Amino acid sequence: MPRHSFSPLSVDSLVMHADISARIVGDSHTILTGISQDSRNIESGDILCCVRGESFDGHRFINEALERGCSAVLVDQVDESISPSITQIIVEDVRSVLGRIASAAFRHPASSLKMVGITGTNGKTSTAAILGSVLSMHGASVHVMGTLTGSRTTPESIDLQAQLRSLVDSGVDHVVMEVSSHALQQHRVDGIVFDLSIFTNLGHDHLDFHGTMENYFAAKKSLFTSQLSRCAVVNTDDAYGQQLFLNAEIRTTGFSASDVTDVSISAQRVAFSWRSLAISLPIGGTFSVANAIAAITAAAEMGVSDSAILSGCAQVATVPGRFESIPNDAGIDVVVDFAHTPEALRGLLTSARMITQAQLIVVFGCGGDRDSAKRPVMGGIATEVADVVIVTSDNPRSEDPEQIVADVMQGVSSNGARVSSIVNREKAIESAILGANRGDMVVVAGKGHELTQEIHGDFLPFSDVAVAQVALLKRKENLK
């Protein structure tokens, strides 16, 4: 985790502007000029924030930080071994206050921005892209932050606040950002009050982290409180969204598929009528309709003009790895999508089924070191909806990819779908494309925009889009 500099600020001012309960041991007038969670990056004048994590405890690295010139530490207990010349800020839990400390260190940059937060299991990235495009057409200077812009969907608190400060200084006035359940549970967005927050849906994911769906929803729900948001737009077609709508403690507007008529869907675009507007987007798939409704409902709540909504939707760029159609002259549709949860896979394949002229072929796998309970469920969904299913490797991480494939195969049903497994993902994608007939659709699911495959700690170059393109070229050569 990097170190970030900020304008000089005394310890007592930092605590006061963070508005936290803390005890200061040492000189409260010590001047700070930088902040980090990583002792290896500390410089003279910095504060080290000692977070107790799953793998490391930041308190164990205080001495290393002191050797590098650390001026203060944020800790959850007094360290009697530290020299009195080093100021200690003692709080009950470092992680829970770190967002507010970081916000204060960078002079509360979110207060100078229109902030939109988007949470939900699926659809965050596309909804953010559509809303960002619409706001830009409205004349805003917009930055979209999320899965496509960093190693984490939502950055750690210090990185997030430093980035927001940089955006303010560069003239950005609107930020549309994805807010993950991990970030909410770990208080990464504390210190921000979103002007508007969006809830897309909730499905089976991240139970390796949250344990239960109830805990998962509780994390998501925390965004829709007065501490973090001023108003909300929620999907009332989703059971959890309906709960948020009915029990809202902030001003909340619902959106639903019933809000639109005259819906037209293809692999390359969607169109529909909404509030007397003829909306069209160059993004395919049925779930793109739901994402668009979320985005334009939020835009309307923010006072965006109808003309900006129309032009923003029409000009939104293709979102990498989100129902991304791969151009070809082979007479087949090839779509790459990030769907990696049961609900997302079902939505993806159901959407593909609606627009497929002939057979639906799906290539997918499940990630290692993640919620293993969803593997057989996704296997069952694939064989329920598709005609041809090829189960393959995704990001196996530390697990045996063959075992992950076997877990998925346990859920397949014998309802007529042709099912096989090819552990090598490149060969699986190639097999699907070479074996497709005119009118078929090949859906490659799970990795979407990702450019690597994680295997035993190594990140090897891998792109579903690039592999599909090579396979299409090979198919063309074979037909000569």
Q: What is the Cα–Cα distance from 208 to 369, expressed in whole angstroms?
A: 8
262 shares its domain with 144? yes
Q: Which domain holds residue 390?
A: 324-478
Residue 205 sits at φ, ψ, to 5 deg, of -165, 155
* Same domain for 443 and 377: yes
Structure tokens that stand for 156 in this block: 């750690």
Q: Give domain status of residue 61, yes or no.
A: yes
Q: Mapped to the 3 state alphabet, what secondary structure does the chain carry?
A: CCCEEEEEEEHHHHHHHHCCCCEEECCCCCEEEEEECCHHHCCCCEEEECCECCCCEHHHHHHHHHHCCCCEEEECCCCCCCCCCCEEEECCCHHHHHHHHHHHHCCCHHHHCEEEEEECCCCHHHHHHHHHHHHHHCCCCEEEECCCCCCCCCCCHHHHHHHHHHHHHCCCCEEEEECCHHHHHCCCCCCCCECEEEECCCCCCCHHHHCCHHHHHHHHHHHHCCCCECEEEEECCCHHHHHHHHCCCCEEEEECHHHEEEEEECCCCEEEEECCEEEEECCCCCHHHHHHHHHHHHHHHCCCCHHHHHHHHHCCCCCCCCCEECCCCCCCEEEEECCCCHHHHHHHHHHHHHHCCCCEEEEECCCCCCCCCHHHHHHHHHHHHCCEEEECCCCCECCCHHHHHHHHHCCCCCCCCEEEECCCHHHHHHHHHHHCCCCCEEEEECCCCCCEEEECCEEEECCHHHHHHHHHHHHHHHCC
Query: Do 347 and 298 reside in the same domain of the chain?
Result: no
**Of the candidate ranges 142-146, 162-166, 292-296, 347-351, the one whose mean pLDDT is the lowest:** 347-351
Residue 330 has pLDDT above 70, yes or no: yes
Q: What is the pLDDT of residues 239-268, one digit of tens each?
A: 999 999 999 999 999 999 999 999 999 989
pLDDT > 80? residue 20 = yes
- Is 154 part of any domain? yes
- Same-domain status, 252 and 383: no
Last residue of a domain, one of 314, 336, 361: 314
Band (pLDDT 50/70/90 cuts) for residue 413 is: confident
Distance CA 277, CA 132 (A): 19
pLDDT at position 207: 60
- pLDDT recorded at residue 210: 64
% of the chain with per-residue pLDDT over 90 = 91
Cα 418-423-424 angle, rounded to 5 deg:
115
For the CA atoms of 94, 100, 103, 104, the dihedral, rounded to the nearest 10 degrees, stands at: -100
Task: Looking at the structure, tell me whether residues 44 and 134 fall in a common domain.
Answer: no
Mean pLDDT calculated for residue range 463-472: 98
Q: How far is CA 59 from CA 51, 100, 171, in A?
A: 7, 20, 37
Number of structural domains in the chain: 3
Q: What angle do CA 276, 280, 284 make, to 5 degrees?
A: 135
Beta-carbon contacts of residue 214 (< 8 Å; ≥ 6 apart) = none
CATH number of the domain within which 359 lies: 3.90.190.20
The percent of residues in the chain predicted with pLDDT above 70, rounded, is: 98
Residues 119, 90, single domain; the answer is no
Are residues 240 and 367 located together in one domain of the fold? Answer: no
Range in 66-70, 132-136, 201-205, 288-292 with the lowest mean pLDDT: 201-205
Average pLDDT over residues 335-344: 93
Q: What is the CATH number of the domain that holds 61?
A: 3.40.1390.10
User: Is pLDDT of 414 > 80?
Assistant: no
Q: Are 165 and 309 found together in one domain?
A: yes
d(CA 332, CA 318): 19
Cα separation of 209 and 162, whole Å?
27
Note the pTM of the prediction, 2 decimals: 0.89
Rounded mean pLDDT, 384-407: 97
Q: Which of 57, 80, 105 is a domain's end point? A: 105
Q: What is the pLDDT of residues 152-185, one digit of tens each?
A: 989 999 999 999 999 999 999 999 999 999 999 9
What residues pair up with 74 in beta bridges, in sequence order?
Answer: 49, 89
Same domain, 330 and 468: yes
The answer to whether residues 102 and 157 touch, using CB atoms and an 8 Å cutoff, is yes
CA torsion 215-216-221-223 (nearest 10°) is 120
| Cβ proximity of 107 and 32 under 8 Å | no
In a domain, 456, yes or no: yes
Same domain, 420 and 458: yes
Pair (446, 376) in one structural domain: yes
- List Cβ neighbours of 475 (8 Å cut-off, separation of 6 or more): 330, 433, 434
Confidence at residue 80, expressed as pLDDT on a 0 to 100 scale: 92
